[in-house]
Amino acid sequence: MTELNIDCLNLIFKELRTDRVSLYPCLLVNKTWCSLIVPILWEKHSWCLYHETSEKKLFNIIISSLPSTSKQILTDNNINLPSTIISKPLTFNYISFCKFFESETIDKIIRKLFNDKKLKYNKRNLLEQEIYKLFVSECNNIKELELHTSRPLPSFPGALTFFSNINKLTIKIDCIEPNTLHEMAKFCIYLNELTVHNCSQDNSGLISLIDAQKNLKIVSLYPHNKKKICEGLREAIGRKGGTINNLCLYSINIIPLISLYSLERLLIYNFEYYGGNSIEMKKFLQYLEVSKFPNLQFLNVLGLVCHKELAMLIKNTEGNLLEISISSKRVKSVHVGIFIKSIADNCPKIKNLSFRITPEEFQLIKLILLNCRNLVKIKLDTLYYENDVIVGDELLDDLAKFSPKSLTKLTLSGNWKFSIEIFEKFLESCREHNLILFGITNKTHITEEHKTIARKYVSEGVINEFKILCP
């Protein structure tokens, strides 16, 4: 049989990179196959182990990879290495193949191989330090790094190479010394994505790291439970307005709006850390109302009552929005009306819509249906109490008359009630545009007659699926 050349084998094995079960037997074919497969297995997927025995084998190889100098340091400090480590030289420099690294791996190694409960604080720190040194010195092609340690990694041998290739960084800011981030900023300058956990106040090292980036595109900021506006961080992110196109805020204590003119995706989540009358909230809404994002395509807001401000933001997007998803426990009807009109007037390209309304706005949905002719998916949720009944005939009738042919998914969430006549009229209108999904939550007012009619249209292929969803 003609032997496949190495390039062909490489392509085949890389296609199988997520199929570990198929790759493992290939290791035993010959040395060539083994030398091609081992780097693939060690890139990232070898960390995703759920079997304790396999995990211990992995950790044992990592400890066996420690240089003799590190092993001697540990021995001199009465840190006993596991008896299972491999004393002979390893076949491969396994650590050098890693493209993904997370601090949690080192925590697991210490817990499982060294029983960290019996280690004194200074011994644990020394052990942790030597394992970090191993990765920093040997990993020449790390692409993704999850970091939560106080160890001064930038001062370790090999730090320049280790940090210079990273394009995705996740950090817990409260675990890392500002000076460490200042040092990282000298050579970790090509981040594409940055995620920061536990933001509670300005951090000079983090600001320095952000300022150093050449092409930062995706930023996600998660808060600590302290309520403090991070003005310095806001300004630093604002200075990257030419590159950041994806921003996710899990708190409003950081307000990097207004100047992000390249922004395409904006996600804002407010998990009840700030009340509607707080200084932080008022300031945030002021920023939101005057911000201009001409390239914004995706807008997702959770936990904020700010429809008036969002209406102004939508007006300033220059018609590029493709998806809007707004979820809030409370809405002000007068502001929802302004919000709906803003969508109808300024979102000709919109494809996906999801927001809450009250019955007073049902008639305004017609404006969206008439002006937004590229709609593919609509989800309308309503505010209701347990015993409220929402008569949806007017809304369903407008959907029957004015829905664009592109609309293929419709979900109505709430305590809805529809007359049989209007319900059937809507389904009949779907003959003009095949409906992939028609979902209704709360089955209280969906009778057997409603279900029989829906099944008829499913059997005829007018709609693919009718679902009564859990509220």
Query: pLDDT confidence of 1, banded at 50, 70, 90?
Result: very low
Q: At residue 423, does pLDDT exceed 90?
A: yes
CA distances from 374 to 192, 205, 450 (A): 31, 45, 29
Which residues lie closer than 8 Å to 68 by C-beta, 6 or more apart? none
Contact 406, 436 (CB under 8 A): no
Query: Do 44 and 69 touch, CB atoms closer than 8 A?
Result: no
Query: Could you tell me the pTM of the whole model?
Result: 0.83
In this prediction, residues 253-274 reach a mean pLDDT of 73
Contact call for residues 166 and 192 (beta carbons, < 8 A) = no
pLDDT exceeds cutoff 60 at 48: no
Angle at 417 (CA atoms; ends 416, 419), nearest 5 degrees: 145
For the stretch 165-198, pLDDT in tens is: 999 999 998 888 889 999 999 999 999 999 998 8
Residue 195, strand partner residues: 170, 220
Nearest Cα residue to 166 out of 101, 210, 83, 217: 101
Averaged over 436-461, what is the pLDDT? Answer: 88
Tokens representing residue 406 in the block: 């592109």
For position 370, what pLDDT does the model report?
A: 95
Q: Is the pLDDT of residue 127 over 80?
A: yes
Pairing status of strand 409-413 against strand 352-357: unpaired
Residues paired with residue 355 on neighbouring β-strands, in sequence order: 380
Q: Are 189 and 216 in contact (CB under 8 A)?
A: no
Can you read off the two tokens belonging to residue 412? Answer: 């109505």
| Confidence label for 229 from pLDDT (cuts 50, 70 and 90) | low
How far apart CA 15 and CA 40 sit, in angstroms, is: 10
Q: How many CB atoms lie within 10 A of CB 140?
A: 16
The three-point CA angle 97-103-109 to 5° equals 80
Distance (Å, whole) CA 205 – CA 176: 9
Average pLDDT over residues 33-44: 75
Distance CA 329, CA 306 (A): 12
Binned at pLDDT 50, 70 and 90, residue 118 comes out as low
Residue 34 has pLDDT above 90, yes or no: no
Residue 5: CB atoms within 10 Å: 8
> In whole angstroms, what separates CA 260 from the centre of its chain?
19
Nearest-10 crossing angle of helices 279-290, 307-315: 20
Ramachandran region of residue 258, left (φ > 0), alpha (ψ -120 to 50) or beta?
A: left
pLDDT band at residue 428, thresholds of 50, 70 and 90? very high
The CA-atom distances, in angstroms, between 172 and each of 9, 63, 177, 202 are 40, 25, 10, 14
Measured distance CA(186)–CA(50) in Å, rounded? 37
Residues 6+ apart with CB under 8 A from 183: 152, 154, 155, 159
Task: Tell me the C-alpha distance between 423 and 392, whole Å.
Answer: 9
Q: Which residue has the higher pLDDT, 74 or 387?
A: 74
Q: Per residue in 314-349, pLDDT tens?
A: 998 889 999 999 987 666 666 888 999 999 999 999
